[in-house]
């Protein structure tokens, strides 16, 4: 896992440097995305775990925190569009970075909160006992909850991403007018939007990975502990692989512990494309594919770990 992390980091650096892309590979990426959403729909309407997923999605969307995060996040995106960043002509890049960070934090907060209320709170409130008395086993319960939380996060991320794309499209023309320049052509404005789409996909993958970890933790600990743990992992997992790769750890024991942590925790820095956004570099579809495979592998491991933790959990 750690070697895969280093390979992805090296590939990311190369991707930012070269910025190569292929039309056929992008068509493949779009096809995979369509199949992903189609698979989610089929799963939710044809399996027992899908029943739990649909119920979790409906319940989570009705929660006040969903509307609150969607409203606050969208308002922040709009405010960032008109607030000058004093970047000497790079306000669009700052809008992209601030917008991506806003979507990431909003999605992560919703995912952790939903995992805590949908699993930990239900276990403590004995609701899970009633649910498992029906022809649904514990593994179906965990998978259904995870897919339901994913659906909820997508319901938040997609409208916010659409809003960010529209605001970036508008911002390009707005800055040109403010600088008394010619209004950019439609193709130029859309190119700025397209360049940001892979970063939105990587943000979604990062949230899905952390959601899988949160689901596993929620089977054993209450909400506050889950939230603190996930955000601790968020910070450490962003820093450790970069520190290890840079070779700045001179003490053998410290270096060993850093490599161990980097091997166990997900490499969230592989999803960080702020450098690509700030330099207008294209993120190749090969990198998206490798990141998706890495995310899928880690999510499966985390869910399997959740099976083990939940199997022995006393629900009485």
195 compared with 100, residue with greater pLDDT? 100
pLDDT digits (tens, 9 = 90+) for 37-90: 788 888 888 888 888 889 889 998 998 999 999 999 999 999 988 887 666 667
d(CA 301, CA 265): 11
Over residues 82-107, the mean pLDDT reads 83
pLDDT for position 156 = 94
pLDDT for position 26 = 59
Q: Average pLDDT of the chain?
A: 81
Over residues 231-237, the mean pLDDT reads 89
pLDDT digits (tens, 9 = 90+) for 34-46: 787 788 888 888 8
pLDDT at position 20 over 50: no
Query: In the chain, what are the domain boundaries?
Result: 2-311
Rounded to two decimals, the pTM is 0.85
Q: Alpha carbon 187 to chain centroid distance?
A: 28
Of the candidate ranges 15-29, 63-77, 115-129, 252-266, the one whose mean pLDDT is the lowest? 15-29
d(CA 216, CA 304): 9
What distance separates the 2 farthest-apart alpha carbons in the chain? Answer: 69
pLDDT for position 12 = 47
43 compared with 176, residue with greater pLDDT? 43
- Alpha helix (H) residue ranges in 47-137: 48-61, 64-82, 91-115, 121-124, 127-132
């Amino acid at each position: 896992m750690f070697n895969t992390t280093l390979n992805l980091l090296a590939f990311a650096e190369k991707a930012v440097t070269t910025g190569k892309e292929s039309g056929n590979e992008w068509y493949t990426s779009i096809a995979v995305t369509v199949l992903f959403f189609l698979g989610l729909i089929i799963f939710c309407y044809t399996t027992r775990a899908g029943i739990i997923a649909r119920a979790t999605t409906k319940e989570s969307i009705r929660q006040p925190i969903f509307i609150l995060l969607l409203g606050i996040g969208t308002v922040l995106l709009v405010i960032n569009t008109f607030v000058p960043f004093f970047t000497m002509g790079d306000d669009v890049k700052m809008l992209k970075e601030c917008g991506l960070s806003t979507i990431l934090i909003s999605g992560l907060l919703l995912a952790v909160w939903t995992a805590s209320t949908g699993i930990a709170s239900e276990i403590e409130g004995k609701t899970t006992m009633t649910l498992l008395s029906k022809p649904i086993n514990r593994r179906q319960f965990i998978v259904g909850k995870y897919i339901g939380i994913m659906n909820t996060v997508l319901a938040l991320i997609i409208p916010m991403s659409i809003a960010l794309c529209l605001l970036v499209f508008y911002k390009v023309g707005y800055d040109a007018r403010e600088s008394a320049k010619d209004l950019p052509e439609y193709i130029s404005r859309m190119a700025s939007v397209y360049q940001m789409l892979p970063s939105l996909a990587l943000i979604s993958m990062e949230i899905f990975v952390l959601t899988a970890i949160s689901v596993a933790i929620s089977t054993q600990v209450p909400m506050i502990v889950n939230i603190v743990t996930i955000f601790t992992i968020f910070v450490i997992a962003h820093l450790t692989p970069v520190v290890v790769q840079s070779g700045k750890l001179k003490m053998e024991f410290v270096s060993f512990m850093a490599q161990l942590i980097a091997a166990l925790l997900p490499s969230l820095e592989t999803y960080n494309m702020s450098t690509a956004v700030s330099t207008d570099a294209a993120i190749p579809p090969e990198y998206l594919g490798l990141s998706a495979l890495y995310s899928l592998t880690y999510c499966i491991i985390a869910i399997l770990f959740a099976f083990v933790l939940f199997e022995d959990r006393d629900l009485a």
